[in-house]
Amino acid sequence: MNRRTFMQTLPVGVAVVGGALSKGHSVANQEVAAKPPVGGGSGFRHSVCQWCYSSMDLADLTKQAKGMGIESIELLGEEQWKIVQANGLTCAVANGPTTISSGFNRIENHDAIVKRAEELLPKIKAAGIPNMIVFSGNRAGLSDADGLKNCAIGLKRITPLAESLGVTIIMELLNSKIDHKDYQCDHTAWGAELVKRTQSDRFRLLYDIYHMQVQEGDVIHTISDNQWAIAHYHTGGVPGRAEIDQSQELQYPAICRALKEMGYRGYLAQEFIPQRDPMKSLAEAVRICTV
């Protein structure tokens, strides 16, 4: 199962599935910085995306992940949060009120999105979850300029509530070359401009390393230039989104060292599709990213 297929199995309106803009990190990152670092001193914290292991019992995944030093299972619906928390882990990112293809870039979507966000955000806060994921939606003929304007209008309707609750809304950067044709938030510069226009400490980007390597490359440089706009990271091997080992082109130890040197203290989530033993591959990925 790929991510697109998994997302299409969810109910409509549920995604499958955080200072000043000149500052280096979001409020969400500053909050976790006060907690003891894990991962052998990497500073950032380990997480994993549940959808990559959707055939596995969530409670079992949680127990095995905990043994690897993983602190979070993410991209979960509200009925799943308690399962993870009962086994001693958290959920770093809750599913939000949009889907990849239908999101904030259409004004006609805003009322329904805002209504659902207003229902979700207090629950996310009560569950102790730091982030809620959202998506731009597909272009479908809409210009990037208009999509940017529309997303900012919609986000400004929910960021005041997010600010009052201390929950960060994160929009994911996805590639439109291979996996998500026509998706609008497909370049870091576009997403960073949206962060500026939204003007909220509680809106940031989810930088998916796999997707952005496919779309634009130059990962470490891009992250360095835009770290002020990023609150969360996902992994994945390129090409093919398989394991993040030496079989692919990205050097994750170097990327993770760069994140550490930049002072990143949020979550790094594994989001690759295992081609071998899933738990062995996951444990190996955690080791690779512990620098």
Ordered by start, the domain boundaries in the chain are: 3-289
The candidate with the shortest Cα–Cα distance to 241, out of 198, 265, 271, is 271
Report d(CA 185, CA 44) in Å as an integer: 25
Between 213 and 21, residue with greater pLDDT: 213
Rounded to 5 degrees, what are φ and ψ at 230? -115, 135
- Note the pLDDT of residue 263: 96
Report d(CA 103, CA 136) in Å as an integer: 5
Tokens of 35: 């907690």
State whether the Cα torsion 187-193-199-201 is positive or negative: positive
pLDDT in tens, 204-236: 999 999 999 999 999 999 999 999 999 999 999
Q: How confident is the model at residue 18 (pLDDT cuts 50, 70, 90)?
A: very low
Q: How confident is the model at residue 41 (pLDDT cuts 50, 70, 90)?
A: low
Decide: 229 and 192 in contact? Cβ < 8 Å: yes
Report d(CA 96, CA 89) in Å as an integer: 20
The candidate with the shortest Cα–Cα distance to 20, out of 196, 241, 272, is 196
pLDDT in tens, 168-178: 999 999 999 99
User: C-alpha dihedral over 71, 170, 11, 77, to 10 degrees?
Assistant: 20
DSSP code at position 50: G
Query: Which helix (H) or strand (E) element contains residue 147?
Result: helix 144-155
The residues, ordered by sequence, that sit 6+ positions from 33 with a Cβ below 8 Å of its Cβ are: 25, 43, 263, 265
- Note the pLDDT of residue 230: 98
- Note the pLDDT of residue 2: 54
- Note the pLDDT of residue 43: 83
Would you say the pTM of this structure is higher than 0.85? yes
**Class of 3-289 per CATH?**
alpha beta
